[in-house]
Amino acid sequence: MLSFIGRKMLKTVAEIGQVSTLFFRIFKFFPSIVRSRKLLFYQMEHIGVNSIPLVFIIAVFTGAVAAWQAAYQLKGVAPLSFIGTATSKAIFTELGPVLTAIVIAGRVGASIAAELGSMKVTEQIDALETMGISPIRYLAMPRFFASIFTMPILVIFANVIAVAGAYFISNFFLGISYAVFFDSVQRFFVLGDLFFGITKGIIFGGITALLGCHIGLRTEGGAEGVGKSTIRSFVLSAALILIFDYLLWTITF
């Protein structure tokens, strides 16, 4: 048992070192981002633009559920006129960035791991190295920075749609007018809440892309290995998103 635990711990520490090394190698190629702008814009379209429909659906129902939950919490405790404040603060600081990041981890992180994993097992990455092209600069760097650049935009988009979804439920089912709902949002709005959520989005986007690239570049075992890498990328990304969410709240407060 002790031997098994020891092997797992050593493997975990070694993998943390490998991910950290990849992170610094990606940043080493940051000065070449202008030269690689076509790759960057392509990945931004794949990660950001193509994710908008899914983020829209998730955000609408996130706001709707937040409105019902806030109404349940406020019932008998505070007037329902505070529902705008309750939902908007929860969306800006927690629901918007976290749920958007998990959706992106499922759609984009797994996609990165599968794509790079397929290239690894078919020796396409070895071919790049033979031609003198760094896989980190050509494959990992554009995906990492595209994820960082697009996540804040997706988080803001999700926040707007989620608040609209919360207002729809509040207006049509709880009888709260437009003026009352958004006056409550405006009165208690703090710009720091919005920036906190955007900062979370940047960090979560970096985690998703970094793990997807790391796992993809170390895929082994043919088609079966690609499938395992895809699952592992999403599971680790989702877990680390929630862990870092807790750590950010702990540091902030």
Q: What are 16's two structure tokens?
A: 């943390």
pLDDT at residue number 130: 87
pLDDT at residue number 157: 95
Alpha carbons 51 and 153: distance in angstroms, whole number: 11
Range of the domain at 143: 2-252
Q: What are the C-alpha distances in Å from 39 to residues 140, 167, 198, 231?
A: 10, 39, 24, 25
Alpha carbons 109 and 211: distance in angstroms, whole number: 7
Token match 């994820």: residue?
147
Contact 83, 54 (CB under 8 A): no
Tally Cβ neighbours within 10 Å of residue 49. Answer: 12
Alpha carbons 37 and 34: distance in angstroms, whole number: 5
Distance from the first to the final alpha carbon of the chain = 39
Contact 141, 26 (CB under 8 A): yes
Q: How confident is the model at residue 58 (pLDDT cuts 50, 70, 90)?
A: very high
Q: What is the arithmetic mean of pLDDT over 102-114?
A: 90
Contact 77, 179 (CB under 8 A): no
**Residue 191: is its pLDDT beyond 80?**
yes
Q: What are 77's two structure tokens?
A: 């405790």
Tally Cβ neighbours within 10 Å of residue 163. Answer: 24
Task: Determine which of 99-103, 161-165, 182-186 has the lowest per-residue pLDDT on average.
Answer: 182-186
Contact 208, 190 (CB under 8 A): no
Q: What is the arithmetic mean of pLDDT over 1-18?
A: 89
pLDDT at residue number 166: 92
**Helices 222-252 and 110-121, packing angle to 10 deg:** 140
Contact 108, 45 (CB under 8 A): no
Question: What's the mean per-residue pLDDT of the chain?
Answer: 89
Q: What is the domain count for the chain?
A: 1
% the chain with pLDDT above 70: 99
Amino acid at residue number 6: G
**Residue 173: is its pLDDT beyond 90?**
no
**Residue 160: is its pLDDT beyond 90?**
yes
